Amino acid sequence: MIQDIYPHQYHNEYHPHEPQDTDYVLTYKENTVLLKEDYSFFCVSELNTKENLLYLFEIDDKTFYLGDVSHLSYTSVKIRDLRNLSNQVISFASLTGWQLYNWMKENTYCGCCGSKMENDPKERAMRCPSCNHIVYPRLNPAVIVAVINDKDELLVTKYAHSTYKQYALVAGFAEIGETIEETVKREVKEETGIEVDSITYYKSQPWSLSGSLLFGFWAKVKDSSAITLDENELSLARWITREELKNHLPSPIALTGDMMMKYVKGEHNQ
């Protein structure tokens, strides 16, 4: 999946320090990231100044900063196209930086008193110098649910209002006051009319495109009720065999594709 960058190691600990010439700079313009024409990162040494660089994170021994490289010769890569790059470190770092960039942009001003926020020097947070209000990066918990019926078929869906046209799994965000397991039951019921039980946790994935932390679950149909499609959310929901699905697998870079691959290989019961 997109976060699996081994043997490289992502360091999310927050300890900003003086930028080195060989460190990397990320710049975002609208819904794109600015990279070199060979799709590599710009280095601090290519900037006119090291001022106004904001610490993001580290991968291996390289630190990533948010800065401005728009005065250099660059190529714009759409954020949604990053998942298609062959270099997964480029994809993961650019998407993670995008999530942090949006969090900072959306919290430029304090939601309590309206003063301009500042980056906290000790932790990854935006702090108001006037009223001391603190805002931490927001994570949106969401579920991806692979539902299996008594024929060992998988429930697949297609989104009603999305440019993504491949098969997907039931998915949705957790609501206030519910457990993540209750989210599984509610989302499957709301989108397809099916009730599930035997809910089993699989794995999680950070997904910066939606600022989410995705929780993958396997679930079984509780009864044999027919599919009732929520047409506001989905254009299609149907049962599929592993033989048919193997010719329509999405990229395993996302949790949905990873779980579908597990199903096709017959590994979902392990």
What is the C-alpha to C-alpha distance for residues 246 and 239, in angstroms, rounded to an integer? 14
**Residue type present at position 195:** E
Taking the chain (270 residues) in consecutive chunks of 10 residues, what is each chunk's mean pLDDT?
A: 95 94 97 96 95 96 97 95 91 97 97 97 96 96 96 93 86 97 97 95 95 96 86 92 92 93 85
What is the C-alpha to C-alpha distance for residues 23 and 10, in angstroms, rounded to an integer? 14
Specify the pTM.
0.91
So what's the pLDDT on residue 200? 96
Token pair 């993001």 is at which residue?
56
* 139, 212 contact by CB (below 8 A): yes
Q: Which domains can be identified in the chain, with CATH numbers?
A: 10-102 (no CATH), 107-137 (no CATH), 140-264 (3.90.79.10)
Residues sharing a CB contact under 8 Å with residue 177, sequence separation 6 or more, in sequence order: none
